[in-house]
Structure 1
């Protein structure tokens, strides 16, 4: 038991440079939320639903993290900071990292049957702060969900997703990193053209169109003047002296 706890604390230290020792990690709200969830999950599986909910509510009050007692969580799960919500049918694999203000939310089935309605996060997934993953989608192994992304479709293994609605950066996790990547996205190298670069390109295109319109307007003006001069010039008779 103690060995498992030490290995878990070491896995957190490996992903978070802030703590100076394992003792600091023991004060993390995510660690306590996971501890309380283990209790509530056992009560839930024993069909002691009210007691499971009571432990869940106490945990949410103490940690600002709401993990439904029915959620299934693997090894070395780390929630960095609080204000995270994990739904009942969510399934989380091993070595998953979630940052603050993340929601693993459920869809609203039209047939009225609950079933699997929350996401599945496979091993080594990283979810950035503020991300929303909605519905019974699957986030593949080593996938990265960028901060504030909204994911409503399954994500392939190793992909990096950003934006609303989330789209792939087309740069797989294996391409740029073999190790842990904080917040789920590479920060030094851009995943896609910068917004300012795209704005500059659009401004150049607009300026080129303005020049073309100006040239066309000038040519039409010259042609109109030539027609007016031709109309004002009297025509000579075809046969002189007639």
Structure 2
């Protein structure tokens, strides 16, 4: 039964190591997924109003808003969960981990596919915003508070606004919140590159100054 599979996944992945009773009774993410299964079933039957009512009730009970049209894979773990929003055309693969405050949203008001697709084993850190009909590859990690508006390759880690891979993340593992164990700030990295360029220009300018000074002295002697 799915609620047991979800509880087993929570017990295996949550470092708090909850008991079976805790996993089944005290995890809003588990309850939200189960409520969504009912809402999605009704949505598929064309019963849109009842589906939205179930979804609204789920949001009131769990603090997690999942549109009944969204497609969720197996063993989705929404940890903490408060403030999570998943849009109508979002697709979430198996064994995905989503933290609180995450939005899988759209950038367009037009009908059609407008929300992201997350492949299996993706981790989305707290407060991250994944926007538009983009694909997040299997095993990708999205750092806390990142804003993702471009596709992310499988296994890649992205951080910052707009989200992009940090240089320091290469070869490092990632933490539960999708950040590398040696987190880097993309803005700070860009500033560091600019500082290096300025320093190089100063060295080149300094190398040109001595000949010019010697020429002026020679002209003064004449």
The TM-score bracket by the shorter chain reads 0.7 to 0.9
C-alpha contact (below 8 Å) 2:164/2:186 kept by paired residues:
no
Alignment of 1:1-242 (within 5 A): 1=1, 4-25=2-23, 26-81=25-80, 82-108=82-108, 112=110, 114-169=111-166, 182-187=176-181, 189=182, 195=188, 199=192, 206-207=198-199, 209-210=201-202, 213-214=205-206, 216-230=208-222
- Give the number of the structure whose alpha-carbon radius of gyration is greater: 1
C-alpha contact (below 8 Å) 1:41/1:52 kept by paired residues:
yes
C-alpha contact (below 8 Å) 1:84/1:101 kept by paired residues:
yes
Deviations 1:162-205 (A, max 9, x none): 232222358999x656xx95122331x45799948973x76566
Cα RMSD (Å)? 3.2
* Partner Cα distance (1:41, 1:78) in 2: 18
* Partner Cα distance (2:32, 2:166) in 1: 32
* Partner Cα distance (1:197, 1:69) in 2: 41
* Partner Cα distance (1:204, 1:67) in 2: 46
Task: Indicate the larger mover: 138-147 or 215-224.
Answer: 215-224
How far residue 207 of structure 1 moved from its aligned partner, in angstroms, is 5.0
Q: TM-score, normalised by structure 2?
A: 0.82
* Partner Cα distance (1:78, 1:7) in 2: 11
How far residue 137 of structure 1 moved from its aligned partner, in angstroms, is 1.5
Q: TM-score, normalised by structure 1?
A: 0.76
Distance 1:154 1:213, change over 3 A: closer
**Tell me, which stretches of 5 or more residues in structure 2 are unaligned?**
none
C-alpha contact (below 8 Å) 1:158/1:172 kept by paired residues:
no
